């Protein structure tokens, strides 16, 4: 998780800057007020929805699906 990564980074000292890259930005279900600097795709998912990512190499297509849990 992002919180665990921030804690690990801070164990080496306080950084001057941290940039965050996410493949999928679940805009409406953030638990911390942290926004990525770079995002692959922004999805308006609520907590009851799940994001599924298919890769060309594994599933034969590049696709992002939003489904109900």
What are the structural domains, with CATH classification, of the chain?
Answer: 1-67 (3.40.50.2020)
Nearest in space to 38 (alpha carbons), one of 27, 53, 17, 24: 24
Q: Taking all residues of the chain, what is their mean pLDDT, rounded to a whole number?
A: 87
Give the H/E segment covering residue 3: helix 2-10
11-21 pLDDT, tens per residue? 999 999 999 99
4 vs 46, more confident: 4
Q: Judge whether residue 30 has pLDDT over 80.
A: no
pLDDT at 60: 92
E-strand stretches of the chain: 21-26, 38-43, 49-54, 63-68
pLDDT at 12: 94
42-55 pLDDT, tens per residue? 888 777 888 899 99
């Amino acid at each position: 998780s992002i919180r665990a990564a921030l804690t690990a980074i801070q164990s080496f000292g306080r950084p001057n800057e941290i940039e965050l890259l996410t493949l999928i930005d679940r805009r409406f279900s953030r638990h911390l007020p942290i926004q990525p600097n770079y995002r692959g795709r922004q999805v308006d998912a609520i907590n009851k929805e799940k994001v599924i990512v298919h890769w060309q190499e594994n599933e034969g297509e590049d696709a992002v699906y939003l489904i109900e849990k």
